[in-house]
Amino acid sequence: MPATVKNLIGGEWVEARSGEVFETLNPATEEVLGTAAKSGAEDVSAAVEAAKAAYQGWRLTPAPRRGEILFRAGRLLMERKEELARLMTQEMGKVIAEARGDVQEAIDMAFYMGGEGRRLLGYTAPVELPNKFGMAIRDSVGVVGLITPWNFPIAIPSWKSLPALIAGNTVVFKAASYTPTLGAEFVRTFQDAGLPPGVFNVVSGPGGAVGNAIVEHPDVKVISFTGSTEIGYSLYARAAQHGKKVSLELGGKNAIIVMDDANLDLALNSALWSAFGTTGQRCTATSRLILQKGIAPDFKEALVERAKQLKLGDGLDESVDVGPLVSAPARENVHRYVEIGKGEARLMCGGQPASVDGKGYFYEVTIFDRVEPGMRIAQEEIFGPVLSIIECSTLEEAIQINNNTAYGLSSSLFTENVNAAFQAIRDLSTGIVYINHGTIGAEIQFPFGGTRGTGNGMREAGQTALDTFTEWKAVYVDYSGRLQRAQIDTEAVLGKDA
């Protein structure tokens, strides 16, 4: 791992203007990994200047050529997958198999968006006057600002940067404070793939200073943010003062519903994976398990037994199931919620901070029973390995419990009844719905995002990502050689010409 992570601005790897750095830690071992540039507003300004200078050249590069660079970057990410995955496990703690999956999402996104270089589809429609043509095309917007979290240090930056780049924008990317190395290494891949200098700039540093500078900078036209609802909404309000377009992907309080008729083995494995994978630090993590009363007693018993067998440890060890939380403050936050839960509900297992070989920000896999839908542990995002079990009598009740939170990212139903499945697809009011699959594991070709406090109506990934990073331009070409007034001359002109 490089000892010092620098910013990439205008094609040059540079230190923060202030010369300041901050340390990065391995959350499993508490070892210092290195340092990274502690950037501020002046570094953001320099990155925006570089992105502005690169914009015209990149905008005018034919999109299929832009796509070829993305394909090359995709191939480099494939070659570097293992190396990047190992860095990821060390820098933020997720287990190595999941770290590989994180890099794979970026590879998938690079090829998907590379292909958009030959699509970026607009449309034509008939026009109402003769000898006139109409079309709607996508236009780039300019410099875009990407503010990303540490829990998917390569995947989430890829969801944001690749649609932005293929559409002809230039990028200022703030890497997450816990994962500056991954941010820098991700961008290096594009530099190595031949992306021109200044097209993709990365700046590391504290959320406050760097994030605010991106949001406030008048030349950054679009902001795409993934993080907490509190910060997302405050950023949204400030960006609105500048008339910026903002795409938000915020918290979740996702539920799995298990009906009496479900395939119970499948539901059990899925619940364990969705609740405790990534140590519960996914915005899509399952944090509520809604059990129909008939299967609840046996299901809970089996779940707790299996949860207790999950192995905590350093994610580089392939036999480990659950890595550490990302940091000491993250662990304190999880423990604060668990203490609240102990006062509200019944603790079935876990409930304490843990360490492995005396080190690391680990937390025991924790399950609460007898949780009521309105309790704080059933309503607020915890972002840790904590699962709350709620019981229900009917599908309608389960759907109502699912929908009745401040968030709306993903939800899941286990049933063998096709009618119940389609009723749930219709009535679950989340941005992502799974049937017979847990709440995590969205694929990059579909819209990603959620309703209510999870966002602001925008979606990442899929075709919808292009809407964030493009403006529609409606084009009319009148080749009649005379004045034709839309909505006014239509009948007269048609009559005369007929």
Residue 430 in the binding site for ligand UN1 (CB under 6 A): no
Residue 85 in the binding site for ligand UN1 (CB under 6 A): no
What is the four-CA torsion angle of 432, 435, 439, 440, rounded to 10 degrees? -90
Instruction: Calculate ∠ Cα 246-193-139, nearest 5°.
Output: 35
Q: Which of 283, 330, 398, 401 binds ligand UN1 (CB under 6 A)?
A: 283
Taking CB under 6 A as the criterion, which residues in 128-157 touch ligand UN1? 151-152
Q: DSSP letter at 10?
A: T
Q: At 40, list the tokens.
A: 């501020």
Taking CB under 6 A as the criterion, which residues in 284-303 touch ligand UN1? 284
Q: At 221, list the tokens.
A: 């036209």
Residue 182 in the binding site for ligand UN1 (CB under 6 A): no
Q: Which of 6, 38, 72, 282 binds ligand UN1 (CB under 6 A)?
A: 282
Cβ at position 407, least distance to ligand UN1 in Å: 12
Q: Which range binds ligand UN1 by CB under 6 A, 23-31, 281-289, 326-334, 366-374?
A: 281-289
- How is 422-453 classified by DSSP, letter by letter? HHHHHH--SSEEEESS-S----TTS-B--EET
Q: Are the CB atoms for 200 and 187 separated by under 8 Å? A: yes
Contact pattern from residue 218 through residue 247 relative to ligand UN1, giving x for each residue in contact according to CB under 6 A and a dash for the rest? --------x---------------------
Side-by-side strand order, sheet with 346-349:
346-349, 366-369, 386-392, 286-292, 254-258, 410-414, 432-435
| Closer residue to ligand UN1 (CB): 51 or 442 | 442
Contact pattern from residue 96 through residue 125 relative to ligand UN1, giving x for each residue in contact according to CB under 6 A and a dash for the rest? ---------x--------------------
Strands 346-349 and 366-369, by their bridges, are: antiparallel
**Ramachandran sector of residue 417 (left: φ over 0; alpha: ψ -120 to 50; beta: rest):** beta
Q: Which range binds ligand UN1 by CB under 6 A, 42-50, 371-379, 419-427, 435-443?
A: 435-443
Residue 254 in the binding site for ligand UN1 (CB under 6 A): no
Q: Are the CB atoms for 122 and 138 separated by under 8 Å? A: yes
Dihedral sign, Cα of residue 194, residue 196, residue 200, residue 205:
positive
Q: Which range binds ligand UN1 by CB under 6 A, 90-98, 255-263, 436-444, 464-472?
A: 436-444
Q: Which range binds ligand UN1 by CB under 6 A, 276-284, 360-368, 375-383, 392-400?
A: 276-284
Buried-exposed string 38-58: b where 16+ CB fall within 10 A, e elsewhere:
bbbbebbbbbbbbbbebbeeb
Q: Which of 195, 442, 466, 493 binds ligand UN1 (CB under 6 A)?
A: 442
Residue 440 in the binding site for ligand UN1 (CB under 6 A): yes
The residues annotated as belonging to the active site are 249, 283
| Closer residue to ligand UN1 (CB): 152 or 414 | 152
Binding residues for ligand UN1 (CB under 6 A): 105, 151-152, 226, 282-284, 440-442
